[in-house]
Amino acid sequence: MIDKGKKSVLGVLIDALDLEAAVARIAEAAKAQRPYGVTALAVHGVMTGVADGEHLWRLNHLDLVVPDGQPVRWALNLLHKVGLPDRVYGPRLMLEVCKVAEKENLPIFLYGSRPEVLERLQANLKGRFPGLKIAGALPSKFRTLSPEEQLQLAQEIRRSGAAIVFVGLGCPRQEVFAYEMRGLLSMPVVAVGAAFDFHAGLLREAPLWMQRYGLQWLHRLAQEPRRLWRRYLPLNVAYLVLLFLQWAAVWSPPLKKPKPPKELRYG
């Protein structure tokens, strides 16, 4: 198990840890009924913090930010010599946490995406983990929640008996959700991005060789080019340039200073 604490990648604090350590920390928080905000960041997620000081504050105040993308793991190893052997891939993290939740009798709640995705996701999770308790599931409203709606949602999740919430709202909405809801929920709020679509069987994961060499973004781009080209192409180039500048000690992050954010209440 590797867990070497938070390290700066372009000013975003990423936890330099492996999958085993990440699962253990989430399970511990769930059993202790402790508020715990979690997200899995690839390059796009890191760059949202680089570009926005308020969002950088959110990311750096989450309890656990795992290196979802290989380029983020490479950056940790390059800049901080942490020796991570692999990334902590969000969809795999979700499955490993579900495995522990089944074993430890920790009910889960699913929030985000669309009703049809949640139906297939629940069926597939129950097929894989027959003893897993799914306390509830709610689709995204695809808009900003009012303060009253945010409190109602938190109450519904608490009343369900859930011990862990998985969130699939897409980046950066899910990180905003995890940041804002962690204080309202005494449990881990785990943002896992496209894991809902992958485990529902609606998106195909990249071949293992592409994942190993950090090319999963290219596979996603080929699947949804019109939606994703603005996310991947300019941001990947900017990430590599800034990473080189940080490694060469030419530039010291952040570009945007972190500052306390206004509430957004994404749902």
Whether residue 102 is contained in a domain is answered as: yes
**pLDDT at 21 exceeding the cut of 60:** yes
Render pLDDT for 191-240 as a digit per residue (tens, 0 to 9). Answer: 998 899 989 988 666 566 666 656 665 656 566 666 655 666 677 788 98
Percent of residues, the chain, with pLDDT higher than 70: 86
CATH number at residue 151: 3.40.50.10660
pLDDT of residue 234: 75
At 253 the pLDDT is 83
In this predicted structure, the answer to whether residue 14 has a pLDDT above a threshold of 60 is: yes
Distance between CA atoms of residues 49 and 239, nearest Å? 12
> Is the CB of residue 94 less than 8 Å from the CB of residue 25?
no
Q: Classify residue 236: in a domain, yes or no.
A: no
Q: What is the mean pLDDT of residues 42-63?
A: 94
Q: Which whole number is the average pLDDT over 51-73?
A: 94
What pTM did the predictor assign? 0.89
Q: How many domains does the chain have?
A: 1
Cα–Cα distance list, 207 to 5, 90, 220 (Å): 30, 16, 11
Q: What is the mean pLDDT of residues 156-162?
A: 96
Burial 34-69 (b: 16+ CB within 10 A, else e): ebbbbbbbbbbbbbbbbebbebbbbbbebbbbbbbb
How far is the C-alpha of 111 from the C-alpha of 167, rounded, in Å? 5
Q: Looking at the domain assignment, is residue 267 inside a domain?
A: no
Identify whether 233 is part of a domain: no
Residue at 98 is within a domain: yes
Mean pLDDT of the chain: 89
Is the four-CA dihedral 125, 130, 131, 136 of positive or negative sign? positive
Residue 264 maps to a domain: no
Q: Is a pLDDT exceeding 90 seen at residue 48?
A: yes
pLDDT of residue 210: 60
pLDDT band at 30; cut points 50, 70, 90: very high
For residue 257, being part of any structural domain is answered with no
Q: Assess if residue 161 is contained within a domain.
A: yes
What's the pLDDT tens digit per position in 97-109? Answer: 999 999 999 999 9
Token pair 């390290």 in the structure block, residue: 7
What is the domain range of residue 24? Answer: 3-200
- Categorize the per-residue pLDDT at 37 as very low, low, confident or very high, splitting at 50, 70 and 90: very high
| Cβ atoms of residues 105 and 163 within 8 Å | no
Q: What does the DSSP 8-state code read for residue 258?
A: -
At CA 217, angle to CA 213 and CA 220, rounded to 5?
130
